[in-house]
Every structure is written in structure tokens, then in C-alpha cells.
Amino acid sequence: MTRAVTPIRDRDAGPTGDRARCGDSGGPNKQLSNDYETSIDPRSTEDMTTARRTGRPVQRTLSARLGRRRRTLQRWPEAGQRPHWSQTATALAGVVSVLLVAAGLYYTNEANRAQQDLNTQGQITDRFGRATDQLGSDQVDVRLGGIYSLGRLIGDSPRDAETIVEVLSAYVREHGSRNLRANANAKVSVDVQAALAVLGRRPATTPRMDFGGANLNSADLSGMDLTSADLTGTSLIDADLSGARLPGTDLTGANLTDIDLTGANLAHANLAVNDFTGADLTSANLTGISLFEANLSFITLDRADLTGSSLEGANLRYSSLTKAHLAETNLTYANLSHADLTDADLRNATLTDADLTDAKVTTAQLATARDSARVKGFTGR
């Protein structure tokens, strides 16, 4: 038996259609229509009509529509979809490439710098070798060229300054001693004086200089920094060390006859057993030094600072000590005969058995000293 098929009416066919049968509220069809209208793009109305006409499920048509929309979003990331993983990988690869290029440039620059330093050091080594070769020449002009080349290297290569100072110090000892052996009163040679001038301009951080036993007679060392230098047994007859800095310097056994030490700093220097005959130490700093039994006859110590020094047994005959600072100085057994102590500061100076025969000193001055009653030769003024 064949059943009659009722054709599907349009939901908007009028009051006689399904909408009328469902009442004014529209019933389930109206609710379905509202759901479609709110969840489906208006452009899908044609798909719904087609679904009713063909009898195919509406859900399949909607799925197809949504699938087309999803594929559209994948083609247009700016529409809201996140970038595809391949795009992220491309961006990361770009960043890595930039980093690799930067690292390559850095290491290339470092390699170039290292090569440049190596080349520079090689040039300095060559210059040092040529300069030292020149020092052994028989011609004084060639030796002078080597000395000044080494002086230039001290500034160009601070790392080699210590070695250069040692080389030039050895040159002074060798060539100075050679002259001294030939003639005890010989003056310093031109090349030795040049080496001294170069050393005088050396950096303060370089090690102390060793001129022990060298001939530096009449040498110009004025203003030179000789801090803690080794000048043991050095001949400095008539040398100019005015304004020189010699704190802590070892001058044991050095010949300082007629030396000029005006304004020099000899604080705590070792001056044991030295001949200072005729030396000028005006305004020199001699604090804390020891001149035990030293020959200081005819020496000039005007305004010199000998505070706290020891001149025990020293020979100061005919010395000039005008306005000298002798506070706390040990002058035990010192020979001060004919010495000029005008306005010298003798506060708390020890004068035990000191010889003041014909010395220029007042009773008032001696009153401030220790053991002044035990001095010899003082007749009172």
C-alpha cells in the first residue's frame, strides 16, 4: 500500500502553513529558525533552502560551510588564526642566522687584533735586538743611537720597560767602571750620561736601579728618582744630585766629595762610611739617616733637616749648620769644632762628649739639648 507524501511547505508560506499550525509562537520550527539565524552566516540561507529541497541533512551542509570558512582562515592568518609553524621556524632561522653572523664578526675581529698585537710585538723585538747590538759598537755615536732607541721603547712597550731599565743600568755599571779603572778622577762619559738621562725618565713603576761601583763623577742626576737605588761603592765626585729623590737609597762606601745634594731627599738612606767632604746639602731632607763616624768636614747643611738622625762620632769640623734642624739628633762624640750652628735647632739633641771648640753656638741653644754639660771645648757665649 502506497503512502501519500506530503510536500514540504515553506515555513513562511502563510497562516495556512506549518507556522499557523504551530500557533503564534512558531513552535519548534520558529526556535530552529532562530538558532539558524544566530549561528549561521546569512549567506548560508541558500544552503538551508537547498537542504530542504534535496532532503539532505542540514548539519552536513553546515559542516561543509564551516570547513570552507576554516580553510579561508588558514589562508589568511591576519583574520585571527595564529601563524603556521613553518612561519615560526623561518623567523627563528633568521634570528639564528643573525646571531651566527655577529659571532663570526666578533671572532674575526679578535683574531685580527691578536694578529696585529703579534706583529707589533715582533717589531718591538726586532727594535730591541738592533738597539742592544748598537750598545756594543766601538763608535760612541752608534752607542748613543742604541741608548735612545731603548729609551723610546720604554714608552712604546711598557711591558718591556723593566728589561730595558736593567740593560741600561748594566751599561752604566760596565762603561762607568771601565772609566773609573782607567782614572779614579775621570768624569762620566757622554754615552753613560745619555743612559742616565733615559733612566731618569723611566716610569716610576719600574724596579730600582743598580749603579753599584760605577763611575758617576760629574754626572748630572738632578731631579732624578733614585728611590731605593743601589749606589754602593759608586763614585759621585762633583756630581749634581740637586733635587734628586733618594729615600731608602744605599750609598754605603760611595764617594760623595763635593757632591751637590741641595734640596735632595735622602730620608732613611744608608750613608754609612761615606766621604762628604765639601758636599752641599743645603735644605736637604736627611731625617732618620745614620752617618756614624762619617767625614762631614767643610760640608754645608744650612736649613737641612736632620731630625731624629744619628751623627754619632761624625767629623763636622768647619761645617755650616746655620738654621739646621737637629732636634732629637744624636751627636754623641761628634766633632763640631769650628762649626757654624747659628740659629740651629738643638732641642733634645744628644751632645754627650761632643767637641764644640770654637763652634758658633749659644748657651741658650745648648740649654735645650741633652747632656750639654758634658760637651767639650765650649767656653760660653
Total domains in the fold of the chain: 2
Same domain, 294 and 380: yes
Residue 38 lies in a domain: no
Same domain, 193 and 292: no
pLDDT digits (tens, 9 = 90+) for 207-235: 788 999 898 999 999 999 998 899 999 99
Top pLDDT among 58 and 304 is at 304
Q: Which one of 172, 187, 209 terminates a domain?
A: 209
Phi/psi-derived region of residue 6, left when phi > 0, alpha when psi is between -120 and 50, beta in every other case: beta
Q: How confident is the model at residue 339 (pLDDT cuts 50, 70, 90)?
A: very high
Cα atoms in the Cβ-side hemisphere of radius 13 Å centred on 363? 3
Same domain, 333 and 189: no
Same domain, 174 and 288: no
Give the CATH number for residue 266: 2.160.20.80
pLDDT (0 to 100) of residue 178: 64
Residue 24 lies in a domain: no
The arithmetic mean of pLDDT across residues 104-127, rounded, is 74
Same domain, 204 and 303: no
What letter would DSSP give residue 78?
G
Same domain, 226 and 201: no
Same domain, 140 and 200: yes
Same domain, 374 and 226: yes
pLDDT digits (tens, 9 = 90+) for 283-311: 999 998 988 888 889 999 999 999 999 99
Percent of the chain with pLDDT over 90: 40
Same domain, 304 and 359: yes
Lowest-pLDDT range of 114-118, 162-166, 352-356: 114-118
pLDDT (0 to 100) of residue 290: 87
Residue 38 has pLDDT above 50, yes or no: no
Residue 61 lies in a domain: no
Residue 23 has pLDDT above 70, yes or no: no
Residue 180 lies in a domain: yes
Instruction: Please report, in angstroms and rounded to a whole number, the separation of the first and last CA atoms in the chain.
Output: 170
Top pLDDT among 16 and 216 is at 216
Q: Which one of 209, 234, 262 terminates a domain?
A: 209
pLDDT (0 to 100) of residue 261: 95
- Give the closest residue to 350 by CA, choosing from 331, 336, 333, 364: 331
Same domain, 150 and 282: no
Stated pTM of the model? 0.65
Lowest-pLDDT range of 6-15, 109-118, 255-264, 289-298: 6-15
Lowest-pLDDT range of 2-6, 127-131, 147-151, 373-377: 2-6
Same domain, 129 and 234: no
Per the structure, the complete domain to which residue 365 belongs is given by 220-381
What letter would DSSP give residue 278?
T
pLDDT (0 to 100) of residue 51: 54
Same domain, 241 and 180: no
pLDDT (0 to 100) of residue 335: 96
Query: What grid cell was written down for 83?
Result: 601563524
Q: How confident is the model at residue 10 (pLDDT cuts 50, 70, 90)?
A: very low
Residue 64 lies in a domain: no
At residue 193's C-alpha, the angle toward residues 134 and 124, to 5°, is: 40
User: Are the beta carbons of 115 and 89 closer than 8 angstroms?
Assistant: no
Q: How confident is the model at residue 95 (pLDDT cuts 50, 70, 90)?
A: confident
CA distance 381 to 377: 12
Residue whose C-alpha cell is 732613611: 268
Residue 190 lies in a domain: yes
Residue 49 lies in a domain: no
Residue 264 lies in a domain: yes
Q: Which one of 163, 189, 209 terminates a domain?
A: 209
Query: What grid cell was written down for 25?
Result: 509562537
Lowest-pLDDT range of 62-66, 106-110, 146-150, 283-287: 62-66
